[in-house]
Amino acid sequence: MKQVLFCLIVCLISENVFGQDKQAYVIYNGKGERVVYQNVVNVVKNSDLLLFGELHDNPIAHWLELELTRDVFDALKGNIILGAEMFETDNQLILDEYLNGYISQQRFEAEARLWPNYKTDYKPIVEFAKSKGLRFVATNIPRRYASMVSAGGFDTLLSLSQQAKLYIAPLPIEYDPNLGCYKSMLGMMDMPGKGRSNPEFFPMAQAIKDATMAHCIMENLRGNHVFIHFHGSFHSNNYEGIYWYVKHKLPNLKIVTVATVTQDDLSTLNQESMGIADFIIVVPDRMTRTY
């Protein structure tokens, strides 16, 4: 009896002490069931492609990107390829030159068009790739070409030189304006088409990014390797965007998607986030931001 009472007291104390820990994140599957981090690693290592959707200013997402890269690298004995939205296709040469040791870190960071939060959020992954001799693919369309589409639609790309067209997905671009990710962009505030000849061009600019990233991923797939790609969650949520373009060409490819969301309460997955990805990383709303 004393032993039972002692165990109950210990359990109550443990609940009071450890139940107060602040959680930095919780991972759910698409059905809203909690899963452990290792479950994500196990699924990813048996896939062909991981589409990791982040919130660009979220430190937890960036940390988990690095940790997952390391752990899948270890699980597969180095057989991974990396790629990211944050690097544009016409910067592949300078990225390769840096990774291969031809130019200095200072030169690379000065001449590549890096995002403002590169040093805090993406540099650790690039440096990991460099240290392990990994392929790192710059997948995003040069922003000047995305701006052309935003202003005038896909047809504006037809006038580009053959050299310029090497940096974008092959034309003509397949496009489904009824996909939720593109339809929702038309309803966004401050996007009524001021300064644009047609507001419908704006989601086309998103689509050309998705199509180009998907094309670059598919061009760099290798057997027995997992391609890990980093991008904003909007580019793969609800199995649209990049996912749609890849699956359209390679329907049998094993793709795992990850999304990042924030919530006030981490105890359950909010209804609006159900099913948006295979795994959903939920981070507290009050989490500090990287910029």
β partners of residue 29:
279
Chain segment 70-96, per-residue pLDDT in tens: 999 999 999 999 999 999 999 999 999
- Tell me the C-alpha distance between 197 and 281, whole Å: 38
**Within the chain, where are the H helices?**
2-18, 37-44, 59-75, 92-99, 105-111, 123-132, 143-152, 162-165, 180-186, 201-219, 242-249
| pLDDT for 5 beyond 70 | no
- Res. 190: pLDDT tops 60: no
Q: Report phi then psi at 46, rounded to 5.
A: -105, 15
What is the per-residue pLDDT across 206-217, written as a single tens digit (0 to 9) for each?
999 999 999 999
CA gap 137, 212 in Å, rounded? 12
Q: Please report, for residues 10, 65, 94, 95, 194, the alpha-carbon distance to residue 112 in angstroms, rounded to integers and kept in the order given.
A: 57, 22, 7, 8, 31
Treating both helix axes as pointing N-terminal to C-terminal, what angle do 37-44 and 59-75 enclose, rounded to 10 degrees?
Answer: 50
pTM score of the predicted model: 0.91
Distances in Å between the Cα of 128 and the Cα atoms of 64, 132, 269 are 14, 6, 32
Q: Enter the CATH code of domain 23-284.
A: 3.40.50.11550
